[in-house]
Amino acid sequence: NTPPAFLEASISSILSQSFEDFEFIVVDDASSDDDVKRVLDVYAVKDARLKVITNRENLGLTRSLNRALQIARGRYVARQDSDDVSLPDRLEKQVLFMRHRPDIVLLGTRGYIIDEDDRIIGRWEPALVPSLIRKKLLRGNQFLHTSVMFRRKTVLELGGYDESFRYSQDYDLFLRISENYKVYNLREILYAW
């Protein structure tokens, strides 16, 4: 369970993005934490872009991700976890890139690794050259899952996240995308994990 303060910071980082035309789907995977529910309710009332989907029972991450994919209406899907933070221009930069590069299906970014006090303790520095991304992806994940943006229609055509994976569902999806489509990582640091 994510502490309410981390959840508030995470939600605020999306609602204060420089790019404002989006739907914000939050999946509550049957949380029993009343503080978390209160935070979600407050933000949902304050901003109509935020839509809370509450699972009746705990479905786990993979099934919850697929549920959100089915509900989403946007052309692009950006991921974020409840204790992470997007930098203010993350969505704007990713959407602009995706619009100008219709050949790219999966787009990641570089990111900071932060501790519970928001101190930078490291960096996520994946491969940036497309041919190198594909090559290195065969040996290890080159995308920070919670920083990616992808084309929803293509991912749905690929069957979404494979629900036989409880963990590494992101890596599996990225490998499947990269088999037939172009993938890319932005040089900018746009995320804090």
Residues 96-140: tens digit of each pLDDT: 999 999 999 999 999 999 888 888 999 989 999 888 999 999 999
Q: CB under 8 Å, gap of 24 or more: what pairs does 46-49 form?
A: 47/15, 49/15, 49/22, 49/23, 49/24
* pLDDT of 23: 96
* pLDDT of 34: 85
Q: What is the dihedral of CA 61, 87, 6, 122, to 10 degrees?
A: 90
DSSP letter assigned to residue 102? T
- In the numeric block, the tokens 């980082």 are attached to 13
* pLDDT of 176: 96
Q: Are 17 and 90 a contacting pair, CB within 8 Å?
A: yes
The yes-or-no verdict on residue 173 having pLDDT over 80 is yes
Alpha carbon of 127 to those of 53, 71, 88, 133, 159: distances in Å?
34, 32, 23, 5, 26
Which tokens go with 170? 């992101």
C-alpha–C-alpha distance, residues 44 and 49, integer Å: 8
The yes-or-no verdict on residue 189 having pLDDT over 80 is yes
* pLDDT of 92: 98
Q: Are 121 and 115 a contacting pair, CB within 8 Å?
A: yes
* pLDDT of 169: 94
pLDDT tens per residue across span 32-90: 878 888 999 999 999 999 999 999 999 999 999 999 999 999 999 999 998 899 999 99
Amino acid at 91: L
The yes-or-no verdict on residue 12 having pLDDT over 90 is yes
Dmax (CA) for the chain in angstroms is: 47
The verdict on pTM exceeding 0.85 is: yes
Mean pLDDT computed over 12-25: 96
